[in-house]
Structure 1
Amino acid sequence: MNAPTRLDSTPQLEDFPYRLSDNVRFADLDPNQHVNNAVYATYFETGRVTLMKDRAYGLMPEGLAWIMVRLDIHFRAELRWPNRIELGLGVARFGRTSVTFDQVVFSEGKCIASAQAVTVLIDEKTRKPTPLTAEIVKNFQPWIRRGLDVAQPKF
């Protein structure tokens, strides 16, 4: 069982094994001159998709796809342009057909936003959820969030 995540606990970037850097774009700003709340979904998507679509990791078997079913975002601080961001991702939970990720956006060493994203594995033809395989779960092991005891599915 996963330990519950406290909403007010501040994530640490080093707990997220998958990381990449990106830029805040001028187009990301709203009339308040900070990054618009809707843009964070795109930042989190960038982190997930960059990991999942890299065929070298074996997370997207032929004929299968991942779909987003839930995204919960906690906004922690303002982010302005120009700026660099660090995106972090770690697996938080395995379900029968799903993988839940904890994700973060950091800038200048500060956690700007955190999220939990639930993705479901589907068959591309039928568009129906399909169970995770032992191979997919094995391939996700390097990306488990540090500090979590993630229960492994039984096959």
Structure 2
Amino acid sequence: MSFVHTERVRFGDLDANRHLNNVVFLRYFETARIAYLRELVPSHDPANPEADAFGLIFAECHINYRSPVLFDEEVAVRCSIGNVKRSSFRVEFEMRVGSRLVAEGYGVLVGFDYTAQAAAQLPDELRETLESETGAPAGSAG
């Protein structure tokens, strides 16, 4: 995994069983994913997609919960780029507290044309940047 973001569990992040709330796992992944993409593509600004006609839409998420997380634990969220296709790509993640795996999964992001309000192909430069993170040869994705 090529990028790590950490979060400290706050009291407000807990559910009624005093474990990290399932929806907060998604929030932690979102924060890590956005930071990772900003590092890879500094021009990426999810808060202002209309500044550029092209943007990314979060289309799918899959999470396997492996172990409860407790108050004040530090969660390391590791992200990497998975499968890169013509108009979408996967950001894979795992979350650990120390060496303990607490969750793993992926999210799919789809290219989006804000002018046409429709899915769009990933620009070549973006696809090449993403593919360089996977170790796949540039241009090899379908």
User: TM exceeds 0.5?
Assistant: yes
**4+ aligned runs moved over 4 Å, structure 1:** 148-151
Which residue does the alignment assign to 1:129?
Answer: 119
More contact order relative to length (CA 8 Å, sep ≥ 6): 1
Q: Calculate the TM-score normalised by the size of structure 1.
A: 0.77
Which residue does the alignment assign to 2:49?
Answer: none
Q: Secondary structure at the match of 1:33?
A: coil
TM-aligned CA deviation for residue 22 of structure 1: 1.6
Q: Sequence identity, in percent? A: 20
Which residue does the alignment assign to 1:91?
Answer: 81
Pair 1:34-2:19 in alignment: yes
Structure 1 residues without counterparts, runs of 5 or longer: 1-15
Q: Calculate the TM-score normalised by the size of structure 2.
A: 0.83
TM-aligned CA deviation for residue 150 of structure 1: 9.7
Once the two structures are superposed, residues 90-138 of structure 1 have per-residue CA deviations (whole angstroms, 9 ceiling, x without a partner) of 1110122101121111111211000111110101222211111221022
Q: Aligned residue pairs: how many?
A: 136
Supply the RMSD in Å over aligned alpha carbons.
2.5
Relative to its length, the structure with more helix (as a share) is: 2
Q: Secondary structure at the match of 1:38?
A: helix
Q: Secondary structure at the match of 1:35?
A: coil
